[in-house]
Structure 1
């Protein structure tokens, strides 16, 4: 089986590529390298530089590499940016995904895994939130992902095409073996930013929103280790290979930590203090989002191996230190 990984040189995508290679799968990557890095990939993986919205390019890749399945990560992911520039998100996430899906159906590629998001739930009334909760995204980012979920649903109803949409909660950490991690300059992920502050790469860290209806007033999120997340994708791929029907599932641990709890954990693990600035709420942010992971556990038999905030932070800090040394060497 050959798997096309879109956005495979990015944060989560590169972890997926390493996991697929570890499992003996053939892999080809399409990435425009706007936020990804070719050095994050195994040396023997084919990388095609280009846009996943380019149907002619994708069609050639699907045919040339005899692709059997697609795992689709490529897209834009910054919630506040999506509020300021919604058309970018509808172009990069929704329109490009539409073209990718059409290229797959034209080529007869019938297995598709999509990286969706917990942002489709908006501000859920019930926490933990299950897959059947009302979908009411608060940002164009969440809406752009939900629109792709709907396109996948309708495509599967009209074509011999099966998909799995995985709704990510807050992905963090890095490969325990130190092969790849979150490397994008200016990333907005909390643990990444806190790690940079702890290592002196930033002067301070900003906490956005201190008056939410949460125990300490800051936003609460379900943080999932990136290695557990990609393991769920591999299980989803195996399920589709075995004839499994289309399904949408949450990817989270089922418990949340506040922003200040994460900051305290980074300080404790790193042994470093750093300045924290308290700011107002950002448009598009949800107060509290925690997964109900019952479905993914029952359907995929998924059992996380890194469900520990200190371990997630430890791996993130180790990668941040390795990245610093790499950048100094260049």
Structure 2
């Protein structure tokens, strides 16, 4: 393989993007980041990484950056990610996730960037009739968040058929945990991720954890999800980039998960175990757009890439999230 390309990471100051920046650098790639810092943090980006504060929909800015940094691949994480908010404010999600992605893809085509990796979601499946869910299962999103991501997947497929660009779509299941070396983690104030919320509660930053729905058709009545450690997810992105370079005619759409699920109560039990505490749990009504169970069939990514998850252990995911939450308190002076 020729010299490694410089990678532009959109949303690289955010949770998953900042882990991808570290994984790329650890693998010997040069990285540039663009982020508008609406939810990301400038301090999450290493000082020697080229950083541009700006919006991916600003095509003159993006195209100048692609040329100036000689970008050979884009990893696209920028976007909005809160399911209930997407139900309340669908136009925000179609703007941030679909319309802005269209502009970014057009900029990539204009400048001639050959590889594009897209941060998608299991929400594209909606409420699947089968579990675990396969990549070729019906895509029937039940909320604007999932639909806005599916629109971008469709755009990428159409653009790759018309232009010299290949892509990998990675459909994330529930991302959790933090960099094991403590370099970055989930830092967004008011985050809705269960493990983030639970470790905040364990450290006294929240009074309790809301359990949204106890009447789902699951073993204990609470929602079941497939939790993937963010560092394992970041490593999948690096392998995706390697694969796109190795065969420029091939595109990929792959689930990113471990292939097993845990209920909300099982996750909270894990937090209790790791912290040796008992978190106050309060059952509330279901949230709009939440399926009962969402577990990945991950056989395709295991077959396509030499992906070997290193952190597929719920207690380890929780302990890394907890360690980061403590460090985040120091960063913010809490």
* TM-score, length basis structure 2: 0.98
Q: Deviations over 1:112-140 (max 9, x none)?
A: 00000000011111100000100111110
- Counterpart secondary structure, 1:285: coil
Q: Equivalent of 1:99, from 76, 88, 103?
A: 103
1:26 paired with 2:30, answer: yes
Shift of 1:326: 1.4
* 1:252 aligned residue: 257
* 1:268 aligned residue: 273
Q: Equivalent of 2:66, from 62, 69, 76?
A: 62
**8 Å contact from structure 2 (residues 102, 152) kept in 1:** yes
Mapped partners of 2:142, 2:274: distance in 1:
33
Mapped partners of 2:27, 2:124: distance in 1:
31
Instruction: Out of 96-105 and 244-253, give the one that drifted further.
Output: 244-253
- What does 1:1-330 correspond to in 2, within 5 Å? 1-244=5-248, 245-328=250-333
Shift of 1:286: 1.0
**8 Å contact from structure 2 (residues 133, 295) kept in 1:** yes
Shift of 1:263: 0.6
Shift of 1:267: 1.0
Mapped partners of 1:227, 1:247: distance in 2:
20
Instruction: Out of 38-47 and 219-228, give the one that drifted further.
Output: 38-47
Give 5+ residue unaligned stretches, structure 2.
none
Shift of 1:274: 2.2
Q: Deviations over 1:39-74 (max 9, x none)?
A: 111110011000011111110110110000000000
Give 5+ residue unaligned stretches, structure 1.
none
Mapped partners of 1:232, 1:18: distance in 2:
13
**How many pairs align?**
329
Instruction: Out of 238-247 and 100-109, give the one that drifted further.
Output: 238-247
**CA RMSD for the aligned pairs?**
0.7
Moved over 6 A (4+): none
